[in-house]
Amino acid sequence: MGELRHLDIGTGGEVSVNWFINGIRKRIQTEKLDQYRVMYPSVLEGMSDYNCPTEALRDGKWDMDKCIFCRQCDLDPTGNQDTYSVEKAIPNIFKKSLYLYPVDSGTCGACNVEFTTLFSPQYDSSRFKIFMANTPRHADALVVMGVHTEGMERVLQEAYDAMPEPKVVIGLGACALSGGIIGRGAMEKYDIHIAGCPPTPAAILKAIIEARDKK
């Protein structure tokens, strides 16, 4: 027994918790995607002549894929979470279900945590028919996170090759897209670019939904 304990084992022992009822009692906690906003990362606006270490600012133009939202330049955050761009629409076949398989090529862990937050009650990705696959063989979209690393290069390629056609590749976060401040991007080309360091769960879901709706 420790010297400090706020609750003793068996505290609720007399009234055993029925997790099913407990879950229902808490009611639905799911939110609209724009309900919560954060300033960084969000779409930046304004002008700045800051010498950006990731080259996210060049000739006055802001490149969100390279931006790590470090607050060093004079661009202002808008709170708008649309920090993504869609290169290629998600095939129609995935309209009713899209299975994502994440691969960590070389992350700091923040993108990994934001990815798992998609499955939290607030975001509940399953209401958008977006699910997680446990193997690339069952996946429709590969979600690549982190910078290029030698050790993960072959693993990433094998995961891509193992996926059935048609397949979608999503770059999640500045590291995967451009290398950010740490290295170089994990892959050359992505169908969906989700910028941010790390991108917010709302941005990830909005990007996928837009890519699915795109004709």
Partner 1 sequence: MKYYEFGDKTGRYVGRTEKYDVYTSTLTEADKEENDNEEKTQGEIYFNYGPSAGGLRESVNFQILTPGESIRDVIINSGFKNRNISIIGDSISDAMLKVERINGFHSASHSIAYALAVEDALNIENDDLNDARIVEIELERIRSNIDVIKGLCESAGFAVPEKQLLLLREEVARIISGAFAHRYYFSVNRINSIEGDFSRISLRTVEKQFRSIYEGLLSSKIFLDRIQENGIVLNPISTGPAARAGNFRYDARLDSKSLIYGKFNTVLEKDGDTFSRFLVRAEEIFESINIIESYGVKRIFRKNKMELSGSGDGTARIESPAGDLFYYVKIKEGKLADIQMSPPSYLNIRNFRSALRNKNIFTDFFFVWESFGIWISELEVKFQ
- In the region spanning residues 139 to 168, those forming contacts with partner 1, defined by CB under 8 A, are 146-147, 149-152, 155-156, 159
Please classify residue 78 by burial: count the beta carbons closer than 10 Å to its beta carbon, then call 0-12 exposed, 13-18 middle and 19+ buried: middle
Q: Which residue lies nearer to partner 1 by CB, 16 or 61? A: 16
Instruction: Establish if 104 lies at the interface with partner 1 (CB under 8 A).
Output: yes
CB of 92 to partner 1, least distance (A): 26
String marking each residue 175-204 x if it binds partner 1 according to CB under 8 A: -----xxxx-------------xx-x----
Instruction: Establish if 132 lies at the interface with partner 1 (CB under 8 A).
Output: yes
Q: What are phi and psi of 192, to 5 degrees?
A: -130, 130
Q: Which stretch binds partner 1 (CB under 8 A): 56-64, 68-76, 90-98, 205-213?
A: 68-76
Q: Could you count the other beta carbons within 10 Å of the beta carbon of residue 193?
A: 22
* Residues β-bridged to residue 103: 144
Q: How far apart are CA 132 and CA 19, in angstroms?
A: 23
Q: Which residue lies nearer to partner 1 by CB, 119 or 128? A: 119
b/e for 137-172, b at 16 or more Cβ within 10 A? eebbbbbbbbbbbeebeeebeebbeebeeebbbbbb
* Choice from 68, 168, 172, 195 touching partner 1 (CB under 8 A): 68
Instruction: Establish if 103 lies at the interface with partner 1 (CB under 8 A).
Output: yes
Q: Is the peptide bond before 91 cis (omega within 30 degrees of 0)?
A: no
Instruction: Establish if 10 lies at the interface with partner 1 (CB under 8 A).
Output: yes
CB of 196 to partner 1, least distance (A): 10
Footprint of partner 1 on residues 45-64 (CB under 8 A)?
53
Q: Which residue lies nearer to partner 1 by CB, 86 or 106? A: 106
Q: Which residue lies nearer to partner 1 by CB, 107 or 211? A: 107
Q: Is the dihedral of CA 19, 22, 27, 30 positive or negative?
A: negative
**Which helix (H) or strand (E) is 114 found in, with range?**
helix 110-117
CB of 42 to partner 1, least distance (A): 10
* Choice from 4, 96, 165, 215 touching partner 1 (CB under 8 A): 4
* Angle CA 118–204–91, to nearest 5: 105
